Chain A
């Protein structure tokens, strides 16, 4: 870092240019990552919108298809699984936050909560349990996305400061 200042020949140093490009790439990647959480949240809200209407836009499931799927699990079991999943999801995110471990940024939570909607739907008790899945999803995904956003923001700030210092040195 002590090599700040223009190159004696008046040309940019190739190593410095490389570093700048790498930082810019990292900034773009971090911006994308911080948006990824938002997309999973939007997707969850869209699935919730369908679930609120008891998936009335889907065609009626045929008897053969239902027979192929087998008997749905009891609603008590689905609810128990939902509570355990939401609890472990929140504890996991809080643990990652306290130890500053890289946040999760996939669509896994969204897929799991969509599966809960599907299970309740197939058991025929979705209207009774919609709000439970919705609030559990909102809290788990909200917390995870908040951490992702805060983590990305912090990393972005560091990268931008580095880029500024690099540009100032040129």
Chain B
């Protein structure tokens, strides 16, 4: 019986708490992951914007050597996986990787098809749409941003007259940053959440088990031991020290046993009386 109460009380609580805590932790992890990735995308977009602004002067003066130097320096940073600038036709003009300079990029590849999916390419993209995640040839997870380099009056009015005013887009900057730090943070977060969930589960289920044992199972066991004692034993001795509903139950048992004993004694007496005074 005790094992039955045990299982009936603990199994549902353990099942409900465990499932719900795990589900909530997974959702919380997904939210945090999504927020961190969004933050990383904005950070990468800001970085791309900084690169475009810092190369602006060199572009206006058609200073290709300085531009190439800036791209090389940015590409040397530890977290930058690739950085390249290509023109409207997709020809790579500057890149940290010298091998891809003067080669055409694939317009149907991820990062390009956001604008080039339709016959008329999109002129503007939201920050989130500029980002793409992929694994590069070296096996590193990369978050890349493609930031357009727009035509400006200073550019179309420049002495070189290279770009006319009607051309809205001059080229695109493509910069990719390593996702290793983000993955490391997420792995740490995952580990901590698993540890935290485990502790919450152990505490919740453990507390329920301990309380049930102390408040229900132990008094019931004491009561069962008390009621199963020999009928000759005194009813007052070793009365279980219980409280609440279990105490009322114990007292009811005690009263019932006393009444049964009293009835038995009365029956014995009447039997003795009848045997002493036989009917005429």
Contact indicator B26/A132 (Cβ below 8 Å): yes
A117 within 8 A of B: no
- The CA of A87 and the CA of B16, in the complex, are separated in Å by 9
- Most A CB contacts (10 A, CB to CB) among B15, B19, B27, B34 go to B27
- Most A CB contacts (10 A, CB to CB) among B8, B20, B22 go to B20
Q: Quick one: which of B1-29 are within 8 Å of A by CB?
A: 8, 11-12, 15-16, 18-20, 22-24, 26-27
- The CA of A132 and the CA of B26, in the complex, are separated in Å by 5
Q: Quick one: which of B25-39 are within 8 Å of A by CB?
A: 26-27, 30-31, 33-34
- A139 contact set on B, CB distance < 8 A: 15-16, 18-20, 22-23
- B12 contact set on A, CB distance < 8 A: 94, 97, 143, 146-147
Contact indicator B20/A136 (Cβ below 8 Å): yes
Contact indicator A83/B16 (Cβ below 8 Å): no
Instruction: Please report whether the interface of chain A is mostly helix, strand, loop or mixed according to DSSP.
Output: helix
- A136 contact set on B, CB distance < 8 A: 19-20, 23
A82 within 8 A of B: yes
Q: Quick one: which of A109-160 are within 8 Å of B by CB?
A: 125, 128-129, 131-133, 135-136, 138-140, 142-143, 146-147, 150
- The CA of A142 and the CA of B17, in the complex, are separated in Å by 11
Which A residue's beta carbon lies closest to that of B19?
A139
- A131 contact set on B, CB distance < 8 A: 22-23, 26
Which B residue's beta carbon lies closest to that of A147?
B12
- The CA of A90 and the CA of B34, in the complex, are separated in Å by 28
- The CA of A98 and the CA of B160, in the complex, are separated in Å by 84
The 0/1 profile, CB within 8 Å of B marked 1, for residues 62-82 of chain A is: 000000000000011001001
Which B residue's beta carbon lies closest to that of A136?
B23
- The CA of A160 and the CA of B8, in the complex, are separated in Å by 21
**B6 to nearest A CB, angstroms?**
13
A27 within 8 A of B: no
**A88 to nearest B CB, angstroms?**
11
The 0/1 profile, CB within 8 Å of B marked 1, for residues 17-45 of chain A is: 00000000000000000000000000000
Contact indicator A129/B19 (Cβ below 8 Å): no
The 0/1 profile, CB within 8 Å of A marked 1, for residues 31-54 of chain B is: 101100000000000000000000
**A12 to nearest B CB, angstroms?**
36
- The CA of A140 and the CA of B22, in the complex, are separated in Å by 12
Contact indicator A83/B27 (Cβ below 8 Å): yes
A51 within 8 A of B: no
User: Which residue of A83, A132, A146 contacts B11 across the interface (Cβ within 8 Å)?
Assistant: A146
User: Which residue of B16, B23, B30, B31 contacts A94 across the interface (Cβ within 8 Å)?
Assistant: B16
Contact indicator B15/A83 (Cβ below 8 Å): no
- The CA of A132 and the CA of B30, in the complex, are separated in Å by 9
- The CA of A34 and the CA of B268, in the complex, are separated in Å by 52
- B23 contact set on A, CB distance < 8 A: 82-83, 86, 131-133, 135-136, 139
Contact indicator B20/A150 (Cβ below 8 Å): no
- Most A CB contacts (10 A, CB to CB) among B8, B15, B31 go to B15
Contact indicator B27/A129 (Cβ below 8 Å): yes
- The CA of A146 and the CA of B26, in the complex, are separated in Å by 24
Contact indicator B27/A82 (Cβ below 8 Å): yes
Contact indicator A138/B27 (Cβ below 8 Å): no
Which B residue's beta carbon lies closest to that of A97?
B12
Contact indicator B27/A79 (Cβ below 8 Å): yes
| Contact A128 B20, CB 8 Å, known A143-B12, A143-B15, A146-B11 | no
Contact indicator B27/A90 (Cβ below 8 Å): no
- A128 contact set on B, CB distance < 8 A: 30, 33-34
- A135 contact set on B, CB distance < 8 A: 19-20, 22-23, 26
Residues of A within 8 A of B (CB): 75-76, 79, 82-83, 86-87, 90, 93-94, 97, 125, 128-129, 131-133, 135-136, 138-140, 142-143, 146-147, 150
Known: A93-B16, A143-B15. 6 other contacts (CB 8 A): A75-B34, A87-B20, A131-B22, A136-B20, A138-B19, A142-B15
A-B contact pairs, 19 of them (CB 8 A): A75-B34, A76-B31, A82-B27, A86-B20, A93-B16, A125-B30, A128-B30, A128-B33, A131-B23, A131-B26, A132-B24, A135-B22, A135-B23, A136-B20, A138-B19, A139-B19, A139-B22, A140-B19, A146-B15
